[in-house]
Amino acid sequence: MGRLEGKRAIVLGAAGAGNMGQVIARRFHDEGADVLVAGRKEEELQRFAGELGGHYALCDLNKEDEIQALAATAKDKMGGVDIAVNATGLGFLKPFMENTREELEMMSALQFVGPFQFYQAMIGAMAENDPAGGSIIQISSATATIMLNDHAAYMGTKAGSDHVIRCVAHEFGDQGIRANSISPGLTRTPMTAGVDQVPGLVESFEARYPLGRIGTSEDIAAAAVFLASDECFMTGENLQVNGGLCLRGNPTRKDQELMMGAVAAASS
């Protein structure tokens, strides 16, 4: 019997082949959950849901009506929601002084307003459970805690959502609802597929990780299973699932330049 046997899970942000959302959804399925995957790409969602024997729904996090419809779809297809994961995000990088109002509003909509409304919809759905309760999981980032150049809009909006998660935990714990964040560091996903092509980048990060390697989506999925399971007596927390990166901080540009030089010297 799996750790999530009988649970009903939504994973939003699972429309990219092999992305973190899909890895989490697959692990939930393997642990016995009935899974509904959601996002903006219907063909991939349909394919992946078929692979899992689960369900799918289209949902744009920028559209409140689609977020509300997602909760209704979960009730129709699975009878309710016990686990809700927001694995959406946009790796937006730009020097601080070059961020425009339009870009800041875009990042706020995607990584603060949208998640806020997702939590509202999921809390409403979980309140209908008998007994009421469930687990909300936000995929955040180590950069919401430690510094990295050119990430201010990304970091700020992720940090804002982390604090909202704490508010959810505080206000709805008496309804049996837990809410937690997971913060990966640099993680091998389709979104970061090009990092290996940047000389010295991976090596400069690995030097900062006490555990000596960058993360994988499987690392994050394992943490998500714990947070989603009845074993979890934790709420309002941010799990730093990043190999100890936050003990040392992200590499600086100088670190990367030095590592690039070392890599070039070793290969010459």
Of the residues 56, 119, 154, 209, which is catalytic? 154
Please count the CA atoms within 13 angstroms of the CA of 142 that sit on its side-chain side. Answer: 24
Question: How many Cα atoms occupy the beta-carbon half-sphere of 97 within 13 Å?
Answer: 0
Q: Which helix (H) or strand (E) holds 177?
A: strand 177-182
Please say whether the beta carbons of 173 and 235 come within 8 A: yes
Active site residue 154: yes
How, if at all, do strands 8-12 and 55-58 pair?
A: unpaired
Q: How many CA atoms lie within 13 A of 206 on its CB side?
A: 12
Q: Which two tokens stand for residue 232?
A: 């979890």
What's the CA gap between 268 and 266, in Å, rounded?
6
Catalytic machinery residues? 154
